[in-house]
Structure 1
Amino acid sequence: MQYRVDYSDLTLVLALVRGRSLARAAEMLQVDVSTVFRSVRRLEAALGTALFEKSRRGYLPTGAAQALAEQAERAEQALDAARVALEQGQQVVSGTVRVTCTDAVLHSLLLPALARFMPSYPALSLELATSNEFANLSRRDADIALRLTNTPPEHLVGRRLGVISYAIYGRAGFREAVAREPARLPWIVVDDAMPDHTTVVWRRQHHPDVTPAYRCSGMFSVARLVQAGLGVAALADFVARDLDGLERLSDALPGCDSELWLLTRPDCRALRSVQTLFDELTRSVRP
């Protein structure tokens, strides 16, 4: 009969994955080192596969051990949620919600919002992924998305949280050159992975002769290079407002305004965890 993994097996594997040594795993499990060693050997024999490889860096988990460790963490979270539910009553919100957004939205809008309300939901866990694609929701890889768009997909439901404006930002020393010779400035832009980004479209229309000095894979990285004094960039106001040393060197860029949408799939609205997070983000995200 095929061996059935139980919770003690999962905690054993998780301890060794986290500790990377028999001694550390034994400490976590409150047993002796020889017990951990024998238990791992016994489990590997029962499963018919190696779980760890011994190296100078300690016990390195194989793919099988990583898979077991992931399940162990989920079981651990479920038990924690159950304990909170017993302590706080049946109204506790628990589970895991997957959220996707761009790097700029994550750092400048989402994280400050989470810091305000997540302490009130100790049994709710989040998986955060940065991406520029709506496909995350379409493929069910995420439950909620924060997106800058004027045309949200029709198959998603959501709320418009506000309108975002863009302007040219940089250090004060660039102000005169922005007005007189913008093409000669060191421009910082997103790379070719985002050819349709509103700032890319604007630059091609208004400054087609500009040769960028720096290209980055995300707008938050662009903003940090601008903050370092390496050049100027077209940035969303919400990204630049909290970065020390940056100044708005132009009026709002024409044709660049973008709506900020909080989106989810229709089937997710029935999930209490998703709906709770959706409502909290609606109240707390401040573009």
Structure 2
Amino acid sequence: MQYRLEYTDLSLVLALVRGGNLARAAELLAVDVSTVFRAIRRLEKALGTALFEKGRAGYLPTNLAQQLARQAEQAEQALEAARVGLEQGREVLSGTVRLTCTDAVLQGILLPALGRFMGDYPGLHLELSTSNAFANLSRRDADIALRLTTAPPEYLVGRCLGEVRYALCAHRDYLSANAGRDWSELSWIAPDEFMPDHASVAWRRQSFPAVIPAYRCNSIVSVLELCRGGLGLAALPDYLLRDGDGLQVLQGDLPGCGNALWLLTRPDCRALRSVVTLFEELARHIRLPVPAQG
């Protein structure tokens, strides 16, 4: 007869995966080392397969052990949500939602929004990944995406949260040190070949065809940080601009750079309460700035 796993078995595997060795696992479980050793040996014998490989670095989990550990974490989260619900006298939403966005959207838009409501959902857990590809949802690697686009894929459903504009910016100290010089003579900061179709690149090439950027970055967040550091001019999305960062807008609403922020999900995810709840909360709390003007 096939062995029937119990919650204590899952807790044992999770502790050893997290601890990496018998001593740390014993601390997490509040038992002695010999108890953990015997329990793992009994479980592996009952399952008829090894769960860990003993190496110089400690106990290395097999694929099966990693799978059991993930399931143990889900059970752990469900129990925590139930406990909180009993304490608060109400039902508590629980589950894990996978969300993808670019690093710039994460920093400038998503994090401020999450801070406004995630505290109300102690049983809801997020797995965040930064990527520029819609493939994350099509491969079912994510449940929700925040994307800048004017034409979201037809296989996704969602909501447009507003327009995003770009502005040409530079730090006030950099402009002061280069007063009187033409913009085309200054140092420029731009996305590199990893983002060849970025709207700001097309705008610069059309408006300032002779400019060769002095700095190229593989992310808009890096472009922003170099601009904040006073290294040159950069075309930046308005949602990354903050009062007090020292940046001055030289030209706002750059032509051809307009975009829209879309909150997207897969059609099948609309049946999942955790995904729907996060989707609606993001739609309610995300706030885009008024377009900057030069």
For residues 116-265 of structure 1, what are the structure 2 equivalents within 5 Å? 116-175=116-175, 180-241=181-242, 244-265=245-266
Task: Judge conservation of contact 1:145–1:262 (CA < 8 Å) in 2.
Answer: yes
Mapped to 1, the partners of 2:20 and 2:231 lie a distance apart of: 42
Mapped to 2, the partners of 1:243 and 1:68 lie a distance apart of: 48
Per-residue deviation at 1:141?
Answer: 2.0
Per-residue deviation at 1:83?
Answer: 2.7
Paired residue secondary structure (2:251): coil
Task: Give the TM-score of the pair, scaled to structure 1.
Answer: 0.89
Paired residue secondary structure (1:249): strand
1:257-285 deviations in Å (ceiling 9; x for gaps): 11111122233223222222122111111
Task: Judge conservation of contact 1:178–1:249 (CA < 8 Å) in 2.
Answer: no
Q: Cα 1:80–1:185, aligned 2, differ >3 Å: closer, same or farther?
A: same
Q: Cα 1:236–1:39, aligned 2, differ >3 Å: closer, same or farther?
A: same
Task: Judge conservation of contact 1:169–1:246 (CA < 8 Å) in 2.
Answer: yes
Amino acid at match of 1:241: R
Task: Judge conservation of contact 2:174–2:231 (CA < 8 Å) in 1.
Answer: no
Per-residue deviation at 1:105?
Answer: 0.7
Identity, % of aligned positions: 63
Task: Judge conservation of contact 1:186–1:212 (CA < 8 Å) in 2.
Answer: yes
Mapped to 2, the partners of 1:86 and 1:202 lie a distance apart of: 56
Q: Cα 1:181–1:268, aligned 2, differ >3 Å: closer, same or farther?
A: same
Per-residue deviation at 1:205?
Answer: 1.9
Mapped to 1, the partners of 2:143 and 2:243 lie a distance apart of: 28
Amino acid at match of 1:212: P
CA RMSD of superposed structures (Å): 2.4
For residues 10-89 of structure 1, what are the structure 2 equivalents within 5 Å? 10-46=10-46, 47-55=48-56, 57-88=57-88
Task: Judge conservation of contact 2:74–2:95 (CA < 8 Å) in 1.
Answer: no
Per-residue deviation at 1:26?
Answer: 0.8
Mapped to 2, the partners of 1:222 and 1:253 lie a distance apart of: 17
Match of 2:92 in 1: 92
Mapped to 1, the partners of 2:42 and 2:218 lie a distance apart of: 47
Paired residue secondary structure (2:71): helix
For residues 267-282 of structure 1, what are the structure 2 equivalents within 5 Å? 267-282=268-283
Unaligned runs of 5+ in 1: none
Amino acid at match of 1:38: R
Amino acid at match of 1:160: C
1:99-149 deviations in Å (ceiling 9; x for gaps): 111111111111111111010111111111111122222222222211111
Q: Cα 1:267–1:64, aligned 2, differ >3 Å: closer, same or farther?
A: closer
Task: Judge conservation of contact 2:190–2:215 (CA < 8 Å) in 1.
Answer: yes
Mapped to 2, the partners of 1:270 and 1:178 lie a distance apart of: 58
Mapped to 2, the partners of 1:106 and 1:113 lie a distance apart of: 10
Amino acid at match of 1:269: R
Q: Cα 1:9–1:62, aligned 2, differ >3 Å: closer, same or farther?
A: same
Task: Judge conservation of contact 1:178–1:185 (CA < 8 Å) in 2.
Answer: no
Mapped to 1, the partners of 2:171 and 2:114 lie a distance apart of: 30
Amino acid at match of 2:235: A
